[in-house]
Each structure stands twice: as structure tokens, then as C-alpha cells.
């Protein structure tokens, strides 16, 4: 039995997350439904933006000043460290005001089980590297899909997309929702 009721996010956040995870091929049974009466009928888009730390600082401060919680998430630790450097002033302010838990900078994976009023995903949610050695081990162990010469790479890409699904669905409020900020290609 598949659990469909989502008691955290509004429907457009759920739909956006499912559009990402459907690319793994194993998510045809998702079809999540907003079940929280506070957000079920609200509509707020998931926004995809060009990277702009100045604008992001403004948005983080706006949410913070409205007493909202904020998650800033990245797939890679390296990106998380850059976010920390760029958003030093808002996070320092939150710490000084005794609200350091209102602004968290984490990886997608570390966000499991958390939720926030506003969620910013920074960087790409896809793996773009390849590991010929690990792909060869996957072939020898007969792991992955039959005929996939890059089974390890494929499994890493699918896991990154599933983790992005988790990260996107950390958002609660429809008035704030989720922002995905992508690095330029």
C-alpha cells in the first residue's frame, strides 16, 4: 500500500517534487495529495530562479522578519559552504536574536524529517559526474538495469533525484513555498 496523504506541503509543492522523482522510473505510484486542511486548497508556485545571492538574502530576511522558518538546502556540502559564506549576515542576526534554529543551511540529505515555512534548494539536483570503475563493478555484479552500461551512474542520479524530492517537500506554507535556484550551465 502506498501512502498518498501529505500532511506537510500544499499540492503544487507535491506536484513539483513528483515531476523530479518521476524521472527515476520507479515513482509511477506516487500521486501524493495535500491532506493538511490548512494548505490543501492553497496554490503557490515552486519557483525556479537564476542564482542571485543578493536577492536570496532579501528573501531570507523577509521570511525571517515574518517569523517564518527557513531551510537553505544544497545537494553537495561544497555548495552548502558557499551558501553559509553568502548568507553570513542573516544567519548571524538570527543567532544574535536567539533564533538560530529559524535559518538552517543543510544538504538535501540532512533535511530528512525537517520542515520549514520557506525552502530554498540551491544548485542542481542531478549528478553530472561518472565513475567508469564503479560502473564496471556494477556490470560485473549484475547490479542495475540489464543493458545499462553505466549502472552505478544511473543509480547515483536516481538517488539524487529522490533526495531532491525529499528536499522540495520540506516546505509547509503555500504563501512561501519552495524556491529552486540553479547554477548556470
DSSP 31-96: --EE--TTTTT---PPEEE---HHHHHHHHHHHHHTT--EEEEESSHHHHHHHHHHTHHHHHHHHH
**Topology (CATH level 3) of domain 5-181:** Rossmann fold (3.40.50)
pLDDT band at 104 (very low <50, low <70, confident <90, very high): very high
Can you give the residue ranges of every domain in the chain?
A: 5-181
C-alpha cell at 33: 495529495
**Rounded to two decimals, what is the model's pTM?**
0.77
For the stretch 64-74, pLDDT in tens is: 999 999 999 88
Amino acid at each position: 500500500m502506498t501512502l498518498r496523504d501529505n500532511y506537510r506541503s500544499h499540492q503544487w509543492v507535491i506536484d513539483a517534487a513528483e515531476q523530479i522523482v518521476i524521472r527515476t522510473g520507479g515513482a509511477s505510484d506516487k500521486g501524493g495529495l495535500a491532506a493538511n486542511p490548512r494548505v490543501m486548497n492553497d496554490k503557490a508556485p515552486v519557483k525556479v530562479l537564476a542564482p542571485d545571492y543578493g536577492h536570496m538574502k532579501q528573501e531570507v530576511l523577509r521570511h525571517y522578519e515574518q517569523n517564518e522558518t527557513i531551510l537553505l538546502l544544497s545537494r553537495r556540502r561544497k555548495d552548502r559552504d558557499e551558501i553559509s559564506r553568502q548568507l553570513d549576515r542573516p544567519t548571524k542576526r538570527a543567532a544574535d536574536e536567539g533564533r538560530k534554529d529559524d535559518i538552517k543551511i543543510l544538504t538535501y540529505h540532512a533535511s530528512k524529517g525537517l520542515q520549514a515555512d520557506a525552502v530554498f534548494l540551491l544548485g542542481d539536483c542531478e549528478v553530472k559526474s561518472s565513475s567508469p570503475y564503479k560502473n564496471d563493478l556494477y556490470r560485473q555484479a549484475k547490479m542495475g538495469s540489464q543493458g545499462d552500461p553505466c549502472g552505478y551512474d544511473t543509480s547515483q542520479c536516481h538517488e539524487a533525484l529522490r533526495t531532491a524530492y525529499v528536499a522540495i517537500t520540506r516546505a509547509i506554507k503555500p504563501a512561501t513555498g519552495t524556491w529552486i535556484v540553479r547554477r548556470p550551465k
